[in-house]
Each structure stands twice: as C-alpha cells, then as structure tokens.
Amino acid sequence: MNGLQQAWGDWRRRRASARHALAATRWVVIDVETSGLDILNDRLIAAAAVGVRWQQGAPVLNVEDSFEVVLQAPPGLALDAVARRNILLHGIGQGEQGGGVEPVAALKALHAFVDGAPCLAFHAAFDAGMLDREWRRLRVDGGLGWPEPWLDLAVLARALYPEWPERRTLDQWLEPFALAASQRHRASSDAWVTAELLQCLWPRWRAKAAGRSPWACAHELLEARRWLG
C-alpha cells in the first residue's frame, strides 16, 4: 500500500467512525500514563478505559465495563530522571512494567474493548496523540492510526461553564462537583473519575443539545469556542 492509498484508507475509516459516533449508545473514556509529556519521544506505560452507556437519555457507568493494561517495558530499559519522577507519580514501577503485556497485544486489547465506540478524554489531544503514535509506530493492524473519533472533555467543560475560566486541570474541574479520584495519576482511577465528570456535565450539555445527538452538540460547542478563541 503506497502513501496515498494509506491516507485514503485512513480518511475513510475515520469518516465512518465519525458518522457512527452520532448515534452511538456506548462511549469510552480513556486515560493513559506515560514516561513523560513528550508525545514524540516518551513511552506509553499504561492505558485504562471506562464504558459509558446511554440509557434513557443519560450517561450510565458500570464498573464491570472497564479495562486497564500495563505495557511491557523494553528489556534493560535505562530510566532517565524524568521517567523516574513520572513513575513515582503514577506508581507503576519497573517491576510492574517488566511483567506487563507486550505492547502490540496491549493496544489490540484496548481497541477490542473500545469496540468502535467514540472516545473521550480530559485533554484528549495528549491521549489521542500518544495512542495514535504508538498504533502507527508498532504498525498495529497495518499502522493506519487509531480510527475512532475523540472528544476533549477539558474543552467541553469550559464551553459549558464559561463562568469558570480559571479552571484548567482535571483536579480543578473535579472540585466543584465534589468528585475525587481514588488514586490520581493511575490510569484506571483517572478514567473513572473523568467519566463521572462527564455525568456531572450532562445537565447543561443536555440543555444545549435540546434533543439532538450529544456528540454532535458537543462538537458544535467546541467549534464555536474555537472561533471565539
């Protein structure tokens, strides 16, 4: 497959996924843990996901519809100071990484859990960028890239609550809704509390949607915010 054919196939997959998102009854919130914040050079260490089911017009969580995987670190990996600091932050040490899942198998397992659902994350550009980079680098399923569309809850929250312009971090958005992660900077805990934040945003979101697709409404809000700056 040449570059043009690959790009065309990638575009067609993403377009089909975007259409599916408009009527999807299950979404997936994703969180990743990495060795740092450099999408181009840092390693993906772990990923977690939580399914969100739309039942009677509201987002519902079920702990049984969740997923977590730690990726196996390359043997003999030398950790620099930044990587050590991040490991202390998320608590996934070399031992746990050494016993993790082979990276291609881990990404395939995560994607099987997503099962075509649209994806959400807090500051989604980072999670989406890291997964897409690894998908291509490891040539998972031909290396065409992560196909499902994304929604950034951080930007959506600011669009729904413009009166709180100072709130930027996940912790700052959890506080007004009396939410707390059981273990911050652990992918499974952060994914779950991000899904709970989605539930808290839903009343205003629903009012804006006015019976339309929540996914379409969210992207309209994000587009309007982009043009307004």
Domain ranges of the chain: 24-228
Low pLDDT (below 50) residues in the chain? 7-9, 11, 82, 229
Total count of residues recorded for the chain: 229
Q: Residue 145 half-sphere exposure, CB side, CA atoms within 13 Å?
A: 17
Q: Which residue has the tokens 């065309």?
A: 8
> Which pLDDT does position 223 carry in this prediction?
85
Query: How many CB atoms sit inside 10 A of residue 108's CB?
Result: 16
> Which pLDDT does position 22 carry in this prediction?
72
> Which pLDDT does position 21 carry in this prediction?
75
> Which pLDDT does position 92 carry in this prediction?
63
* Tens digit of each residue's pLDDT (9 = 90 or more) over 119-139: 999 999 999 999 999 999 999
> Which pLDDT does position 37 carry in this prediction?
84
Burial classification of residue 226, based on how many CB atoms lie within 10 Å of its CB (0-12 exposed, 13-18 middle, 19 or more buried): exposed
pTM of the model: 0.86
Cα-based distances in Å from 124 to 6, 121, 164, 222:
24, 5, 20, 13
> Which pLDDT does position 199 carry in this prediction?
98
Q: Is the dihedral of CA 80, 85, 88, 89 positive or negative?
A: negative
> Which pLDDT does position 229 carry in this prediction?
47
> Which pLDDT does position 71 carry in this prediction?
92
Burial classification of residue 184, based on how many CB atoms lie within 10 Å of its CB (0-12 exposed, 13-18 middle, 19 or more buried): middle
Return the CATH fold of 24-228.
Nucleotidyltransferase; domain 5 (3.30.420)
Contact 220, 148 (CB under 8 A): no
What do you get for the CA distance between the two ends of the chain, in Å?
A: 40
| Rounded Cα gap, residues 93 and 78, in angstroms | 13
% helix, strand, coil for the chain, step of 5: 50, 20, 30
Enter the DSSP assignment of 117. Answer: -
DSSP per residue over 42-105, as a string? SPEEEEEEEEEEEETTEEEEEEEEEEEEEBPPPTTPPP-HHHHHHHHHH---HHHHHTSB-HHH
DSSP per residue over 122-148, as a string? TTHHHHHHHHHHHHHHTTGGGS----S
